[in-house]
Each structure stands twice: as C-alpha cells, then as structure tokens.
Amino acid sequence: MRRHPCFRALTAHSPKRLKSPLMLVLGIETSCDETAAAVVSDSGDVYSDVVRSQIASHAPYGGVVPEIASRDHARAVVPVVREAIAASGFTLAQIDGIAVTSRPGLSGALLVGLSAAKGLAWATQKPFVTVDHLVGHLLAVLLQRPGSSAPRPEYPFIALLVSGGHTAIYRVNGPELSLVHEIGATRDDAAGEAFDKVAKLLGLGYPGGPQIDRLAAIGNAARAGVTLPRGIADHRSFEMSFSGLKSAVARHVASLPSPPQDQALADLCAAFQATIVETLVSKTVRAAAREEVPRIVLAGGVAANKGLRARMAEVCTRRELALFVPPFSSCTDNAAMIAYAGALRLSRGETDTLSEGPATKTALLRVTRKGGGKR
Amino acid sequence: MIVLSITTSAASGGVALVQNDTVLAEIAHVDPRGHAEHLFDLIDRAFTKANVTRGDVQLIAVDIGPGSFTGARIGVAAAKGIALGLGVHMIGVVSLAAMAARLRSEFPSQPFFAAAIDARKNELYLSIEDQEGAVRTPPCHIAYTSIAEHITPVIGNTSCVSIVDTAEHRAFAAPFASTALVEPPSPSWIAKLGAAQFLSLNNADRAALDPGNVVPLYVRPPDAVPLPAFAP
C-alpha cells in the first residue's frame, strides 16, 4: 500500500498535528459484495484504501447472494480494517472518527460493517457517522489518491452515477445530502444490472460488464441485425429504463437457431452496449445543458466501462463540457469515498448515535417514479 | 477477570458484565428486529449498572449461534469492533452450549442435557451434552417432528433435561425430558461459559482468541442454488 507523500511530514509532528488541523477518518463499507476499509482525511487525501472483493464467492450463482455476502463480510471485516489502519501509517489512536455505510444496500451485509464500526467507535470513544453510499460515490471524484494529480471539479457538477445497483443523474451543489438533487433515474433495472443479466443470458459469466465491454470493442453494432429499444428515449425526460432492453436481447437470442458465437456475439454486445451508452450519455449531457452546469462527473462501477468513457469524452469535447472521470479504484465500491464523505460530515460537526440502523434505500430525495423493478 | 458478553442470535438478546462468576449486570431485551439499534444502549446501561469502565474489560464473549444468521452476525460484528478497539481477546460461545451449561448448574444430578433453539422452516437447532460438558450431539438442524430420533439413541434409558427457546417447541421436547424450560441463551451464561473456556486454555491458545478469527456458527448453509455449470 502506498503512503501519501505528506505522511512523513505529518508523523514528524505527530501525534497532534498542531500546525495543520486535519481530520483523519476510518471508513468501513459492506453494503454489497466488497468488504472495504480506508483511512482518508477531510481534505480528501487517501492514506489507505483496502477492498476485498467477493466476486469469486458469488460467481457460481450468477449474481450476488445476500446471505453469502453477509457471511463473507463477517469473516473479512477485521482483517480488512486492520490492513487499512496499518497501511495508512497511522495507528487507531491517531484516527479522529469512524464512518460507515448505513444505506442503501443489502441490510444483512450493511449490518456487519455498521455493527463493527459501532463497536470500534464505542470502544475507542471516537465520533461515529453514517454515510449514504450514493453520496460516497458522488464525492469519489474529489479523492486525492497518492501519485495522482487528476483535476477535481468545482461545485456544482452534474454526476452520472451508474453501477450494478443504481443508475441516476444528479446535480451536486455540495457534499451534503440536502445539496444533491436527483435529475432523473432508472425506473427499473440499474444499467449494471442490465449488463449482468445480458451477460448471463449470453453465457459470459459474472460480473458481465467487463466481458461485454471487451467484446463490444471488437464488435459492430450495425452488423448485429437487431434493433434494440432505447427505454424512455423521449428527449424531454431524464428518466431511464433498462429492463425492456434486456428483454429485447433475450427475445432476439431466443429467435436465433443457435446462441450467437464469436463475431456475431461481439456484434450483439456492441449493439447492446451502444444502446445503453447512448441513453446514459445523451441524458447526462442534456441535464448539463438544462442546468447550465458545464461539468460532468462519472461515478459508480459502470463508469469503468471503456465504451461509456470514450463516448462521454467525445460528446463532452464537442459540447465544450469538462468531463471528470475518477480512476477505476474510485468508481467501484470502496471505503475511501465513505471515509471522505464521513470526514466532511464530522468536520461540519455532525455525528450519529450508535442506535443508527441500516436502510435498503438511499436518503437522497427521488423524483423518478419507480416501476416494478428496483432502482 | 471482567467479561463483557453479547447475545443477539435469538429473538431476545442482551449483554452482561460478569466478574469471576459474579454477575455485575445483565440486561436483556426482546426485539428480534431491533438488535442493531438497541445493542449499544444495553451495553452503556450495563456498564453504568455494574459501575465499571471500558478499560476494565479483559475478555469479550459473544454468542455465535446457531440461531438467526443476521442476529448472530450483529453480535459477532459488534464484538469484533469492541475487541479490536479495546485490544482485548474475543471468544465465541455456542448458543446451545451456553443453554446446556446453565442446565448443568441447575440440575447437577441429571446425566444429559439437550438444548434446542428455533431454526425456522419447521426445524430446530439441537445439541446434547453430558454431565461433564462433553458434546454428545454437536449442533445440528433437525425437523421438529424428529426430535425423538435424535434424543433417544443418545440418552438411552436415562432421562435428560432439555431447554428450548419457545413454548411451541416444549411439546416436542417434553416426552424425553424430566424438565423442560423455555429460555433463550442468557447473556450471563454466555459470559460464564466464555470465561471458563478462556481460563481452560494455555497462553498459546489464548493468543489465537483474536477478533479476526471468530465467525458465527451457522450450521445450515445458505439457500442459494449454484448455476448448472457450477453444480457439483
């Protein structure tokens, strides 16, 4: 684990860091299928960022199994927290607060991180804050990782948050819940969920996004011989829908004499990915135009998709919008973003009590009507 | 030695502070859906009642189940955080073993002790121990209706006392037992058994009682079914 350049300077004047007051927060994240812990300051400096993925545990089931996720978290939480503290170069005693994801997510999985974080905060008598996972994702672009000098956007910015569990466009005026406004979101499946489901029906394994992205790069959408529906293509709406797209791919595959292979498979992946990317890019760019905010931020695991990044960059350049794409490690689930969002809450004087429970839904206000599926 | 115990694997849960078999404080509550929300309030109340401080605690004993999967994880994860934060040892105690240990102290003349706890899906988690505390039937999950098949071969012509966690189960256990109690694992017995197990270990084995090593005892696997390609 790399240490931040100012680590030496800090510890030289430790333990109280009198010269430049800095709040160091340990963040813990167990909302889905990654057990993660990180030490981050309220200025966004990442001192450690440990993520233990459970992909191998869930792959045999073709998706995340909540009970298996919870069991894995219970095994991993202490080693992951210890590693994050050790790699940060600080000791637990030097950490100023404990932050943990309390929502949205799988409640059994959230409970593991939440209970462990409460135990740590109680035992060490440090301040405790809960963090909304989606706020964490939206602020991940502001993290300062060692060796990276990527520019950080000013507020306000338009963020496309797109992952396996969430897909929405936000206007972010600041780091507080009340300053984040949903512009539009999916009514049914998340985009990442559509990737996983389509990958499953094409026999590409789990998680499906990277496989489809790889094949789409060598495929030709025009040659796929299928017209896929763009859910809620109405250009006035910022709402999205991806379940019909998934069903259309399923119907197309069922109509073929045999499952698509090789180039035909790559072409179908290209057509599917182009449809999703076009919806995401066009709605995000239109949101930036409507809000008159010339800054776009990508967030969430699907932001790692090369097709999405390339198309968004192309359109942003043409429209003279500044695009901020965090490194891969800040896009996927991680605890650094949780620690940072928690540090900002603590620096505003906010804390939570140890009676805080988990919630499956975000605390961000929704404007999008919910369809039959999950958001 | 002061032990802090936590039990959240059953519908009722609680915490206790126990010093050398003396219960300094024991606070229980009943709310199967509220363990995560109530636990630290119970802990604070127990410390106030016992008039001790965090720094006095030398061992965390936690109920690892079997019982509710999520319930057991709440207690185990909280105990891990506490043990890590205080830098003390942590020991996992089997819920059924704490129930049996309590029976042994209350009915010392009985040869066998059966403990059962609701496992949902018309099943029980069951284990049977003898007078010395040796486990004759390790924790398992069985159908309510098959309790006779599991108890009779172990206890033979003798009797046993049993302890079950709901009145509903009493009817199944009663024919084989001289006494049927309806009690969940108690916080103070989790602490007492945890302390006894800790004291029976040599120093090398105590060093392994680390919060990183304790995991819930589920007994039953998750319900999920693997995709055909991965099926054994």
CATH code of residue B72? 3.30.420.40
Residue of B143 and A97 predicted with greater confidence: A97
pLDDT at B172: 65
Which residues, in sequence order, are CB contacts of B93 under 8 Å at separation 6+?
A: B5, B61, B62, B63, B64, B190, B193, B194, B197
Whether B221 maps to a domain, the answer reads no
Do B7 and B87 have their domain in common? Answer: yes
Amino acid at A200: K
Number of domains into which chain B is organized: 2
| Confidence tier at A208 by pLDDT (50, 70, 90) | confident
Size of interface A-B (CB pairs under 8 A): 121
pLDDT of residue A346 exceeding 50, the answer is yes
- Give the pLDDT score at B31: 77
Confidence tier at B169 by pLDDT (50, 70, 90): low
* pLDDT for the residue A240: 94
Task: Count the alpha carbons within 13 Å of B117 in the hemisphere toward its beta carbon.
Answer: 27
B230 touches A at CB < 8 Å: yes
Residue B21 has pLDDT above 70, yes or no: yes
Counting residues of chain A whose pLDDT is more than 70, the rounded percentage is: 93
Distance, in Å, from the CA atom of A84 to the CA atom of A72, rounded to the nearest integer, reads 18
- Same domain (yes/no): B121, B193: no
What share of chain B in percent tops pLDDT 70?
88
Q: Which pLDDT band, with edges at 50, 70 and 90, does A109 fall under?
A: very high
User: What is the rounded average pLDDT of the residues A96-103?
Assistant: 98
- pLDDT digits 0-9 by tens, A71-81: 999 999 999 99
- The answer to whether A111 contacts B76, with C-beta atoms less than 8 Å apart, is no
Is there a single domain that holds both residue B84 and residue B101? no
Check whether A18 has a pLDDT greater than 60: no
Contacts B84 to A, Cβ<8 Å: 78, 81-82, 92, 116, 119-120, 123
Interface contact B224-A356, CB threshold 8 A = no
Same domain as B154, residue B171: yes
CB-based burial label for B84 (10 Å; 0-12, 13-18, 19+): buried
How far is A325 from chain B, CA to nearest CA, in Å? 35
Q: Does B224 touch chain A (CB under 8 A)?
A: yes
Instruction: Identify all chain B residues contacting A119, using CB atoms and an 8 Å cutoff.
Output: 77-85
Of A65, A79, A116, the CB nearest to B81: A116
Residue B225 belongs to some domain of the structure: no
Half-sphere exposure of B62 (CA within 13 A, CB side): 32
Residues B155 and B100 in one domain: yes
* Domains A7-147+331-347 and A157-326 are alike in CATH topology: yes
- For residue B123, tell me if it sits in a domain: yes
Does some domain include residue B32?
yes
Do B90 and B195 lie in one domain? The reply is yes
- Selected residues 181-210 of chain B with any CB under 8 Å from a CB in chain A: 210
pTM as predicted: 0.92
Give the residue on A whose Cα is nearest the Cα of B215.
A75
Q: Are A110 and A358 contacting, i.e. CB atoms less than 8 angstroms apart? A: yes
Q: Is the pLDDT of residue B180 over 90?
A: no
A352, A128 contact by CB (below 8 A): yes
Asked if the Cβ–Cβ distance from A108 to B70 is below 8 Å, we say yes
Structural domain boundaries, residue B170:
96-182
In the predicted model, is pLDDT for residue B171 greater than 90? no
- Domain ranges, ordered by start, for chain A: 7-147+331-347, 157-326
Residues of chain B in contact with residue A64, where contact means CB-CB under 8 angstroms, are: none
Whether B89 and B13 map to the same domain: the answer is yes
Asked if the bond preceding B66 is cis, omega within 30° of 0, the reply is: yes
- Give the mean model confidence (pLDDT) for residues B115-125: 88
pLDDT of residue B34: 86
Q: Look at residue A372 in the predicted model and tell me its pLDDT.
A: 43
Domain membership flag for residue B118: yes
- Over chain A, what is the mean pLDDT? 91
CA distance A319 to A65: 42
* Mean pLDDT score of chain B: 89
Residue B81 to residue A108, Cβ atoms within 8 A: no
CATH 3.40.50.920 fits A157-326, yes or no: no
Q: How far is the alpha carbon of A80 from chain B, nearest alpha carbon, in Å?
A: 9
Kindly tell me if the per-residue pLDDT of A178 is higher than 70. Answer: yes
Using the Cβ of B38 and the Cβ atoms of chain A, whether some distance falls under 8 Å is answered with yes
Which residues of A have a CB under 8 Å from any CB of B? Answer: 59-62, 65, 67-68, 70-71, 73-75, 77-79, 81-82, 92, 107-108, 111-125, 354-358
Comparing CB atoms, the residue among B34, B82, B222 nearest residue A122 is B82
> What is the distance in angstroms between the Cα of B3 and the nearest Cα belonging to chain A?
14
CATH superfamily of this structure's domain A7-147+331-347: ATPase, nucleotide binding domain (3.30.420.40)
pLDDT of residue B145: 82
B49 close contact with A: CB closer than 8 A:
no
Contact A21, A317 (CB under 8 A): no
Which of A122, A200, A353 to mutate against chain B (most B CBs within 10 Å)?
A122
A3 or A21, higher pLDDT: A21
Among the candidates B143, B165, B182, a domain finishes at B182
Assess whether pLDDT exceeds 60 at residue A9. no
Residues A114, A135: Cα–Cα separation, whole Å? 17
Is the pLDDT at A241 greater than 90? The verdict is: yes
Q: Searching chain B, which residue's CA lies closest to the CA of residue A107?
A: B70
* pLDDT band at residue B170 using 50, 70 and 90 as cut-offs: low
Within B45-134, strands assigned E span: 57-63, 89-93, 112-118, 123-130
Average pLDDT, integer, range A1-15: 40
**Cα–Cα dist B38/A357, whole Å:** 9
- Is-contact A237 A282, C-beta < 8 A? no
pLDDT at B197: 95
Q: Do A115 and B70 touch (CB under 8 A)?
A: no
Give chain B's count of helices (H) and strands (E): 7, 10
Higher pLDDT, B169 or B212: B212
Among A115, A120, A122, A128, the residue to mutate for chain B (most B Cβ within 10 A): A115
Q: Tell me the per-residue pLDDT of A30-56, one tens digit each, with 9 for 90 and over.
A: 999 999 999 999 999 999 999 999 999
A124-151: pLDDT as tens digits: 999 999 999 999 999 999 999 998 888 9
Asked if B84 is an interface residue toward chain A (Cβ–Cβ < 8 A), one would say yes
User: Do the domain assignments include residue B230?
Assistant: no
Domain co-membership, B8 together with B90: yes
Q: What is the total residue count of chain B?
A: 232
Global ipTM = 0.94
Chain A residues in contact with B32 (beta carbon < 8 A): none
Query: Which pLDDT value is given to residue B152?
Result: 83
Contact: A67, B36; criterion CB under 8 Å: no
Residues in chain A within 8 Å Cβ distance of B215:
71, 74-75
Position A255 scores a pLDDT of 93
pLDDT-based confidence at residue B165 (cuts at 50, 70, 90): low
Do B85 and B111 fall within a single domain?
no
Question: How do residues B45-103 score in pLDDT, each as one tens digit?
Answer: 999 999 999 999 999 999 999 999 999 999 999 999 999 999 999 999 999 999 999 88
- Decide if B49 contacts B84 (C-beta within 8 A): no
Tens of pLDDT, residues A262-298: 999 999 999 999 999 999 999 999 999 999 999 999 9
